[in-house]
Chains A and B, each alone.
Chain A
């Protein structure tokens, strides 16, 4: 990230599911510097750049599409079907609330 971009960057928090936290060797939320506008795409790009072992686990390698059994939540709203280029809520962009990446619950 350039110096100019850093001045416009916000610290975004991302909550990962258990298995991805293990892959990334992190505990709790991860914190990422993301330049405005803070979109799903920008956050995921920053996440994969900082933790390349997560590449392909959230988005398909070739298409960049969300993997079918993962969901995105922001401020208690399901963002899974939203455009990856839509700006996230201000409280997520400012780091007040985390962007949550969840594994869909399956089974019974």
Chain B
């Protein structure tokens, strides 16, 4: 019988939530990596037992963890827990993220813009997002802060930067958002393994058509307060991107303010906020079987990161944007002042599409009917940073 596995990253550890296809009764396991920040965890579409995790700490730095058995056991890639390492130099350096500074890049990749407008060296801080390949369980991408894209082709044992992104001519103009300069979104084109979309706060969205060697800023049509140039190529605070796998040219974006849409792979964007009560927010996702059905969680403003009027509501559009309906059944109707972060919403692919999101208050809500009805799976986890879902046969 089919089932779902929900992977939840929190401020204080990781949790795995399992249910059958009815999605009514849940088994909660964890915390794994207790006490550590788990920015993101995601399973391989090729091998659902393979799960990659970004584990981080202000004290101890960045670690990559991996499970090969669906989240029962974990290890750092290439470093089995019990084995005594062989003599000689290590062959696996799963936590080593070093920016490419080789002469072959041909560009000075050394600085970006700091808060005060001066140039600042790139400094690795953490992995925000892991994105397993759609075709190879050993290949996985990592979006990091300070913004860069890394790839591993050996299951996370070693990482190499795809430095063409930082080498984009605008790199020295990129600046950090309030939360740092993170590459937080990676969307892989299921029809073309060489085409990848990424988003950076606060540089904007970029696309490669050649597997990461060269990149194009795709921000035309975005309008951001405080950016005086309406045609600014970069500088926009893109919060998240979402795609339906059947239409890789159509992307939806939750920008700092504004919900946006492109129908030409990012060449042009148009606003589809429509009748949303506020179009500030972080999370956005698309129904698994209806490419024109999308979900956002409106947040009051960039000054007040909680729902309007203390009512937690998901908004759904069945028209690809502009016309939105509130979904509130089963969600708090008062006194709710949580946030829903950019990577904290996901959908499953069961016939009745399930929708899931986690809050900074530690709740993970699930809907087994595309958002019509909601119920909490758990209520009292640490603040939720990310939610991903695996649909299991």
Contacts and interface: CB of A to CB of B under 8 A. Distances in A.
Interface string A23-45: 10100000000000000000000
B179 interface: no
Contacts of B81: 25, 53
B381 to A, nearest CB: 19
Interface residues of B, number: 23
Interface in A5-24: 17-20, 22-23
A91 interface: no
A67 B61 contact: yes
B85 A52 contact: yes
Interface in B52-98: 57-63, 75-76, 79, 81-82, 84-85, 90, 92-93, 95-96, 98
Interface in B263-293: none
Given A25-B81, A61-B93, A69 B98 contact: no
Contacts of A19: 35-36, 57, 59-60
B36 A61 contact: no
Interface string B96-115: 10100000000000000000
Nearest to B96: A61
A103 B59 contact: yes
B59 A67 contact: yes
Which of A17, A57, A60 has most chain B Cβ within 10 Å?
A57
A96 interface: no
Range of interface residues on A (Cβ < 8 Å) = 20 to 34
Interface string A58-97: 1011100001011000000000000000000000000000
A49 B85 contact: yes
A4 interface: no
A62 B59 contact: no
B84 A55 contact: no
Contacts of A20: 60
A21 B90 CA distance: 21
Which of A25, A55, A104, A106 has most chain B Cβ within 10 Å?
A55
Contacts of B79: 52-53
Nearest to A24: B81
A85 B92 CA distance: 27
Interface in B1-56: 34-36
Contacts of B34: 22
Contact of A56 (B35, B59, B95): B95
A34 B82 CA distance: 21
A74 to B, nearest CB: 20
Nearest to B92: A52
A61 B95 contact: yes
B95 A104 contact: no
B82 A57 contact: no
A57 B36 CA distance: 13
A46 B57 CA distance: 23
A52 B90 contact: yes
Contact of B60 (A52, A57, A62): A57
B90 A50 contact: no
B155 to A, nearest CB: 16
Given A49-B85, A55-B90, A70 B59 contact: yes
Given A23-B60, A70-B60, 5 more contacts: A18-B35, A19-B35, A19-B60, A55-B90, A56-B95
Interface of B: 34-36, 57-63, 75-76, 79, 81-82, 84-85, 90, 92-93, 95-96, 98
